[in-house]
């Protein structure tokens, strides 16, 4: 008499195959590890945002990207660093394929600095390494970021939003000079950096 066909699920496992309970236990452990990592990453985002004063924009300012050069705040003669009556600095920049205008800006150290940026064409990115400055530069909108530089120094300013074939070459510079060496910026001076 032939043996009845055995249930394949009930057969003893051949050597080398891990039983289901062990697999489940391992998978549960990994789920908990992943959940813990997510919790840590969320906590890092919240803590660094608060401690590093990283703010998303609280206002929406629009600007017409096609006529930036014709008038208004971002006309060429108004770009670069301007010193406000209260002593703070405002830097206005335009991002365009593939450069920032002006190509280099000078700002005083130990002074509140407000960057105001917009784009003439596509989305660019503005980032100053080791500072809280990091924003997207979107055509049609004004991005504003505030910071201050404790020490004089040079900051490379890479575009960090892919903006086309020349994206990798879109670098400019923020030159931070000691406060007492920052002289009044004439219309020409404010859009170019001191010769190195
Ligand atoms: Cu501009 Cu990338």
Tens digits of residue pLDDT in 84-127 = 888 889 999 999 998 998 888 888 999 999 999 999 999 999 98
Say yes or no: CB of residue 146 within 6 Å of ligand 1: no
- Dihedral angle computed from the Cα positions of residues 190, 179, 174 and 74, in that order, rounded to the nearest 10 degrees: -40
Q: In the prediction, which pLDDT does 196 show?
A: 45
Ligand 1 mean position, distance from CA 79 (Å):
19
| Beta carbons of 90 and 144 less than 8 angstroms apart | no
Say yes or no: CB of residue 159 within 6 Å of ligand 1: yes
Ligand 1: nearest atom to the Cα of 161: 2
pLDDT classification of 191: cutoffs 50, 70, 90: low
Mean pLDDT on 160-176? 89
| Beta carbons of 90 and 81 less than 8 angstroms apart | yes
| Protein residue closest via CA to atom 1 of ligand 1 | 124
Q: In the prediction, which pLDDT does 60 show?
A: 80
For residue 145, the cross-strand partners are 115
Ligand 1 mean position, distance from CA 163 (Å):
4
Q: Within 10 A of 71 (CB to CB), how many other CB atoms are there?
A: 10
**Chain centre distance of CA 106:** 20
Say yes or no: CB of residue 157 within 6 Å of ligand 1: no
Give, in order, the Cα–Cα distances in Å from 152 to each of 108, 175, 180.
8, 8, 11
Place of tokens 């074939």: 165
Say yes or no: CB of residue 162 within 6 Å of ligand 1: yes
Say yes or no: CB of residue 161 within 6 Å of ligand 1: yes
pLDDT classification of 71: cutoffs 50, 70, 90: confident
What is the Cα–Cα distance from 179 to 148, expressed in whole angstroms? 12
Q: What is the pLDDT of residues 4-60, one digit of tens each?
A: 556 666 666 777 788 888 899 999 999 999 999 999 999 998 888 887 766 665 568
- pTM attached to this predicted model: 0.69
For residue 185, the cross-strand partners are none
What is the Cα–Cα distance from 145 to 43, expressed in whole angstroms? 23
Place of tokens 């080398």: 16
Ligand 1: nearest atom to the Cα of 170: 1
């Amino acid at each position: 008499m032939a043996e009845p066909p055995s249930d394949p699920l009930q057969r003893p496992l051949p050597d080398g195959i891990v039983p289901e309970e062990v697999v489940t236990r391992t998978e549960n452990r990994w789920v908990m590890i992943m959940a813990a990592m997510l919790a840590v990453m969320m906590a890092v985002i919240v803590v660094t945002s608060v401690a590093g004063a990283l703010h998303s924009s609280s206002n929406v300012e629009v600007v017409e990207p096609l006529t930036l050069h014709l008038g208004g705040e971002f006309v060429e003669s108004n770009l670069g660093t301007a010193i406000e009556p209260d002593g703070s600095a405002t830097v206005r920049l335009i991002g365009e394929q593939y450069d920032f205008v002006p190509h280099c800006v000078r700002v005083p150290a130990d002074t509140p600095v407000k960057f105001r940026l917009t784009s003439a064409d596509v989305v660019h990115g503005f980032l100053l390494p080791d500072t809280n400055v990091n924003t997207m530069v979107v055509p049609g909108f004004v991005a504003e970021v505030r910071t201050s530089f404790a020490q004089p120094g040079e900051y490379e300013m890479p575009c960090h939003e892919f903006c086309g074939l020349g994206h990798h070459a879109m670098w400019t510079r923020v030159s931070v000079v000691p406060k007492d060496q920052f002289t009044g910026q004439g219309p020409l001076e404010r859009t170019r950096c001191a010769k190195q």
